[in-house]
A = this chain, B = another copy of it.
């Protein structure tokens, strides 16, 4: 890189899928003069040192945040308040403090009270991920053409918000700004409810009488396997999401239940027209998602198929 990096020192607190992907992307693009990271467990810190992606792995959150121009908490939302409290005394004047949590209202409420007046708090949520977690799971391309939502509290310095937006755009993301409340409602339907439903159906399939687990696995290509991916996501992260975005999730669950009742009734009554109409409308949504590049156009998510062998004797 010939140009100066966007930030002199970037501190990443937590090195899971998201923290690790930010580190890899920022490193490969030269977005930071120095990337310093830490993680709660000694095991993760050791692994991050081995990986050799970041410039320094330190032992404490305070040490990581110390003197950083950008501090990003890449940890479950339930841990954000405590970490904000811990790093607050060490934050540099004018630093930007952000996070990557999937819930924003609760994170703002938990972190804001601890943060000094002279830092810029710009909460963020990159809507991207895979079912994997841990220090090895990240990759630099994770955020490309995904959306990163910023929810700066009223009165946040516009320049700081724009600087963080530019960082996310450099990582390949599109940036949108909204209130924490609206974020939590939108994500309740596009992310939290789907995860809850997936977690439910996977356990339903696990505990049935009359159908063995081996049968569930073997015949999962009938549709079930699509649900198992997000039901394999990080349990701590998702526990915290449901604990902290309870109201919006319960509201969406109510809507879902009403719709499920309607379809159940149509099945019970043998109302083929109602079913057909419903199943026709839902096709359009998939087309829309593919059109705006939020999913693969290739069938089956682009899953690969082996080549057909030769004819048997």
Binding site for B on A (CB under 8 A): 1, 3, 25, 28-31, 102, 127-132, 137, 139-142, 144-147, 149, 166, 169-172, 176, 182, 185-187, 189-208, 210-211, 213, 215-233, 235-236, 238-240, 242-243, 246, 249-250, 252-253, 255-256, 259-260, 263-264, 266-268, 270, 272, 275-276, 278-283, 285-289, 292, 294-296, 299-313
Contact = CB atoms under 8 A, between A and B. Distances in A.
B211 A29 contact: no
A216 B189 contact: yes
A203 to B, nearest CB: 6
A264 B264 CA distance: 19
Contacts of A218: 147, 176, 292, 294
A260 B300 CA distance: 27
A204 B275 contact: no
B190 A224 contact: yes
Nearest to A215: B186
B191 A223 contact: yes
Nearest to A169: B312
Given A127-B221, A169-B312, A308-B28, A282 B202 contact: yes
